[in-house]
Amino acid sequence: MKKIEHIGIAVKDLKVSNTCFSSLFGKPPYKTETVESEGVRTSFFEVGPHKVELLEGLSAESPITKFIASKGEGIHHIAFAVDDLAAEVQRLKEEGFVVLNEQPRKGADNKWVVFLHPKSTNGVLVELCQDAE
Ligand code: ZN
């Protein structure tokens, strides 16, 4: 793994939280994006070499809405950049990690993403991401 790519934060109201985090960082998000396939609306802030992603669920069935219902707003996942997603998934499977989607999905911010189940990573939802061409 190369670096922490971003930290994902689950929020109830993206508009309200965009205002809050714009004040916190002293600048607005560099993009907002709806990812229908993941059931989320997102915004991204640049913070030095890293990013912060805010995620709002699009419906009651969204994983983000369910997360907030059970745990409240807060840190949802940590994303790590990798060069070769397929090789990294293979390596982590051999190490015993539980991969949630072996077939990479198109995530926000032009990335291919794979998630690891929090039960194999001390309760932390881990996202692996590789830049899409
Ligand atoms: Zn993410």
Tell me, what's the pLDDT at 66? Answer: 96
Asked if residue 133 has pLDDT above 90, the reply is: no
Give me the pLDDT at residue 37, please. 85
User: How far apart are the C-alpha atoms of 90 and 44, rounded to whole Å?
Assistant: 29
2 CA distance to ligand 1 middle (Å): 15
Q: How far is the CA of 42 from the centre of ligand 1 (A)?
A: 9
DSSP conformational letter for 109: S
Cα of 95 from ligand 1 centre, angstroms: 23
pLDDT 10s digits, 50-100:
999 999 999 999 999 999 999 999 999 999 999 999 999 999 999 999 999
- 25-36: pLDDT as tens digits: 999 999 999 999
pTM of the model: 0.94
Average pLDDT, the chain: 95
